[in-house]
Structure 1
Amino acid sequence: MATDEKFEECSATVDRVSVRLPPFWPEDPDIWFAQVEAQFETSGTKADSTKFYTVVQQLDQRIAREVRDVITSPPSVGKYDKLKNELIKRLSTLRDHRMRQLLTHEELGDRKPSQFLRHLRSLAGDQVNDDFLRSLWASRLPSHIQAIIASQTSLRLDDVAELADKISE
C-alpha cells in the first residue's frame, strides 16, 4: 500500500469520528454547505470520498431522491463538489418553482409598482433572488410599463421600481 493511500485511509477514519454536521437545511443549501465546509476545515477533513459520504448520510429520503443519480453513480473525482453543486442547483430550482406558485396569485391592484415590489419581497422573505423577483414583479405590471422597463437591465431593481412609479403617475 502506498504512503498516500495509507494517509487517506487514516485521514478518512479520523474524519468520520470528528465531523458532526447539522441536519440538512433544504430551504437554504448554500448556508448549510458553508457550515459543513467550516466543520470539514476545523476537523481537517480533506478526503473527497469522506466529504461525499458524510453529506449523503445527512440527506433525508426526499432530498436524496433529488440527487439520486449523483449518489448512485458519483464521478470518480470531485464527488463532493458534484453533490454540493447539484443539490444547490436542483433545490434552488424547486424553491423558485414553489415560490413562483405561491406568488402567482398576487396582483398589482391599486398599489404603486414600488409598493407591489415591497409586498412581493415581504411574502418571499429572503428565499428568492432579485432576478427572479424582477421577472415576477415585472410580469404583473401593465404592458405599457413592462415595455419601458424591459430595457432597463443595468438598473437595480429598486431603481426600476421608482421608474415604474413615475411611468404609472
Structure 2
Amino acid sequence: MLHSPPKAVNDNFATVPSPAIGLTPPPLTINAPAERDAAIDMQDPEVQTMNAMRFNILETQIPTSILPEARHVLENVPSTDRYEAAKKALIQHFEESQRSRLHRLLADMNLGDRKPSQLLAEMRRTANGAMTDLMLVDLWIGRLPPYVQSAVLPATKDSEDKIKVADAVMDSFALYHRTGPYQSVSEVRNGEVELLTHQVNQLSQRLEEGRRTVGNLRQTNRWEHSRPRSQFRPRHWANSTARNPDFEICSFHGRRQGNSTPSPSS
C-alpha cells in the first residue's frame, strides 16, 4: 500500500520527523543542506560521542616527531565538536610551517662546503613535497657557482644527469684549485674580487712609478737648459788660426817680439 508524502513538504522547506532518535530537525532549506546536517549532528548525543571518539583517535594518529608541536594546538580546541576543530587547527598550523620551510628554501639554503648532490637532497627533504622536483632543481641550480651552472644548464633534462655533472665539475675544480672542502658561491666571488683588487693595486703602482719617471725627466731637462753655456772662441779667431797654422805664439811672446824690433835710431 502506497503512502502519500508528508503534508509539510513544499517547494521551499520540509520538516521531517525523526522518531528514531526522538528529535525534530530544523527546517530543511533547499540551498543549504550542509547546515541542516551540522545542526542535526550538534543535537545528536550519538554524534557527539562519535566526534569525541574521532578526536581521541586523531590524537593517537599524530606522529611522535610533531606531537610536541601539535599538543598546544589540541589543548586549545573547544569542548564541542572537538574533532573538526582540531583538524582545522592542525591544518592551519602546519600550513604556516610549510610556508616557513619554503621561505628557508628560497632564502637560507646555500651550497657551503657540501657537494651539489648533498644540497639538492637537503632541499628535497625540506620541501617535503611542497614543490615539484622541477622547481627544486631550478632553484638548486641557482645556488651553484657560475662555472658549475654553465656546465649543468646544457645537460639533459634528467635531474640525475645534472647532479652527476655538477658533482664532477666541483670535484675537478677542487683538484686543480684547492685541496680543502668545496668552494661556495660567495667564496668564488670573494676570490675574484681579491684578484681584481690585486691587479688594480699593481696598475696603480705602475702609474705612480711612471709619474715619478716623467717628473725626473722634466727636472733634468730644466737643469740642462738653465746651465750656463761654455765660452767659444770668436769666429774670426778660428778662421785666422786656420789660415795661419804657424801662428801658435802666445800673446806674451808676441809682445816681446814686437818690442825687440830695432828702432830707426839704433
- TM bracket, shorter-chain basis: 0.3 to 0.5
Question: TM-score, length-normalised on structure 2?
Answer: 0.30
Q: Rg: which structure is higher?
A: 2
Say which structure is richer in helix.
Answer: 1
Question: TM-score, length-normalised on structure 1?
Answer: 0.42
